[in-house]
Amino acid sequence: VPVAVEANPGEIEGFAAIVFDVLRATSTITTALAAGYQKVYPVVEAEEAIEFARRIEAALAGERGGEKIPEFPHGNSPLEFWPGNNRDNDSLVLTTSNGTKAIRIASTHAAKTFIGSLLNAGAVARAALQTGWDICLVCAGTEGKFSLEDLLGAGFVLLELIGIADSLPQMDDLSVAACNLASYYINAPLKGLDEGRHGKKLIGLGRDMDLEWCAQLNRFEIAPAVNNGYVCL
Ligand code: MLT
């Protein structure tokens, strides 16, 4: 199976895409669905999110610059959605600085779009492989810049793919780099999250526990995917 990390949106038509915003949007979506939410709607603009959540009577969550949007009831910490026994709704509308945008763009172009994170690396690798399509790993990054933790997430999924595919995936150079990065941090994923620019920023905001949560490799056996504008299992 051919896999690529380096691809423009227009080049992923017909691909199974896996989107990574490990800190924290895709980890938060994965956690919310594992906790019992049925649908998570990724929305780009805060105003649009407020209106939409009101219209469909969904819970509302959002972050800008790593901090909860002041008038929103929830921020973008995965821990706000775990455990699921204090869930106030079945549907969640989420807007974040980079992750929700990457999911929207990928799902406009790819044949199928999965949500990837360390939390569900194995499950999402299996689900993407089962589509039989070429696989593209989409790293959201932070404000247009490369993010260490997203390439690390892609690398962990690639290591899982290598473990289950019948033959060795044909990888582009960035996929090879992602695999080597994941091999480097395999015994200390949290260190990989701590060492990136956005990880350091979140630690500065007192979100250390979020990093610890997002660093749990294969905590969940779920492969969330985009379907009609929302993410579900
Ligand atoms: C994003 O979408 O930019 C991130 O999830 C930011 C964050 O909440 O850490």
Give domain status of residue 50, yes or no.
no
- The confidence band for 1, taking pLDDT boundaries of 50, 70 and 90, is confident
CA distances (Å), origin 202, targets 152, 198, 207: 17, 6, 5
Helices marked H in 18-98: 25-34, 46-56
Please, which residues bridge with residue 225 across strands? 114, 232
CA distance 44 to 95: 6
Sign of CA dihedral 190, 18, 174, 165: positive
In this predicted structure, the answer to whether residue 129 has a pLDDT above a threshold of 80 is yes
Helix 25-34 / helix 99-109 crossing angle, nearest 10 deg: 80
Q: How far is the CA of 98 from the centre of ligand 1 (A)?
A: 6
**Residues with beta carbon inside 6 Å of ligand 1?**
21, 23-25, 63, 66, 76, 96-99, 202
Evaluate whether 83 touches 31 at the Cβ level (below 8 Å). no
> For 133-144, what is the mean pLDDT?
95
Output the residue whose Cα is nearest ligand 1's atom 8: 66
Classify residue 77: in a domain, yes or no: no
Atom of ligand 1 minimally distant from the CA of 100:
2
pLDDT in tens, 18-67: 999 999 999 999 999 999 999 999 999 999 999 999 999 999 999 999 99
- pLDDT-based confidence at residue 138 (cuts at 50, 70, 90): very high
ipTM of the complex: 0.95
Residue 86, domain member (yes or no):
no
Q: Which of 19, 20, 21, 203 to mutate to test the pocket of ligand 1 (most atoms within 8 A of CB)?
A: 21
Residue 214 lies in a domain: yes
**Residue 6 pLDDT exceeds 80:** no
- Specify if 34 maps to a domain: yes
d(CA 121, CA 132): 18
Residue whose token pair is 């932070």: 142
Residues 181-191: what's their mean pLDDT? 98
Q: Which pLDDT belongs to residue 10?
A: 80
Q: Is residue 59 included in any domain, yes or no?
A: no
In a domain, 117, yes or no: yes
Q: What is the mean pLDDT of residues 146-164?
A: 97
C-alpha distances in Å from residue 76, one per residue of 10, 29, 141:
29, 9, 16
Supply the DSSP string of 126-194, one letter for each residue: HHHHHT-S-EEEEE--BTTB--HHHHHHHHHHHHHHHHHSSS--EE-HHHHHHHHHHHHHTT-HHHHHH
Would you place residue 8 in the very low, low, confident or very high pLDDT band (cuts 50, 70, 90)?
A: confident
Q: Which of 58-62, 113-117, 143-147, 203-207 has the lowest mean pLDDT?
A: 143-147
Residue of higher predicted confidence among 11 and 153: 153
Q: What is the pLDDT of residue 7?
A: 76
Pairing mode, strands 59-64 and 67-68: antiparallel
**pLDDT tens-digit readout, 83-126:** 877 787 999 999 999 999 999 999 999 999 999 999 999 999 99
- Which ligand 1 atom sits nearest the alpha carbon of residue 75? 8
Range of the domain at 10: 2-45+99-232
Give the length of the chain.
233
Q: Which is it for strands 225-227 and 230-232: parallel, antiparallel or unpaired?
A: antiparallel
Q: Is 91 helix (H, G, I), strand (E, B) or coil?
A: strand
**What value does the mean pLDDT of the chain take?**
96
Cα of 197 to ligand 1 centre, how many Å?
A: 12
How high is the pLDDT of residue 33?
97
Pocket test for ligand 1, best of 63, 68, 200 (most atoms within 8 A of CB): 63
φ, ψ dihedrals at 190, nearest 5° = -60, -35
List the CATH number of the domain containing 221: 3.90.1560.10
Domain count across the chain: 1
155-184 mean pLDDT:
96
Residue 227 lies in a domain: yes
Task: Count other C-beta atoms under 10 Å from residue 18's C-beta.
Answer: 34
